[in-house]
Chains A and B, each alone.
Chain A
Amino acid sequence: MEIKVLGPGCPKCQQTEKIVNEVVAETGVDAQVEKVTDVMEIAKSGVFMTPAVMVDGEVKSVGKIPPKDDIRGWIEK
Chain B
Amino acid sequence: MNQECCASNRPVMMLTCSGASNVGQLSNHAAVELTRDGFGKMFCLAGIGGHLDGFVQSAKDVPQMVAIDGCDTGCAKATLEHAEVPLKNYIVLTELGIEKTHDFDLKREELERVKEAVKGVCFENSPLIPVVDQDSVNCCT
A58 at interface by CB-CB < 8 Å:
yes
Q: Is the CB of B62 within 8 A of A62?
A: yes
Q: Mark A29-53, 1 if CB is under 8 A from B, else 0.
A: 0000000000110110111111110
Instruction: Please pick, from B41, B44, B139, the residue contacting A13 in the complex, using a CB distance under 8 A.
Output: B139
Inter-chain contacts of B57 with A (CB < 8 A): 47, 52, 59-62
Could you tell me which residues of chain A, from 2 to 57, have a CB within 8 Å of some CB in chain B?
A: 7-13, 39-40, 42-43, 45-52
For chain A, the bracket of interface size reads 20 to 34
Rounded to whole angstroms, the CA-CA distance of A8 and B137 in the bound complex is 8
B11 an interface residue at 8 Å Cβ cutoff?
yes
Most buried by A among B13, B41, B140: B140
User: In whole Å, how far is A15's beta carbon from the nearest beta carbon of chain B?
Assistant: 10
Contact of B6 among A11, A43, A45, A48 (CB under 8 A): A11
B141 within 8 Å of A (CB atoms): yes
A9-B62 contact given A46-B47, A50-B137, A63-B139, CB 8 Å threshold: no
A7-B5, A39-B1, A63-B58 given as contacts; is B139 within 8 A of A50 (CB)? yes
6 A/B residue pairs, CB under 8 Å, sorted by A: A12-B139, A39-B137, A47-B58, A48-B13, A62-B58, A63-B61
A residues with CB within 8 A of B: 7-13, 39-40, 42-43, 45-52, 58-64
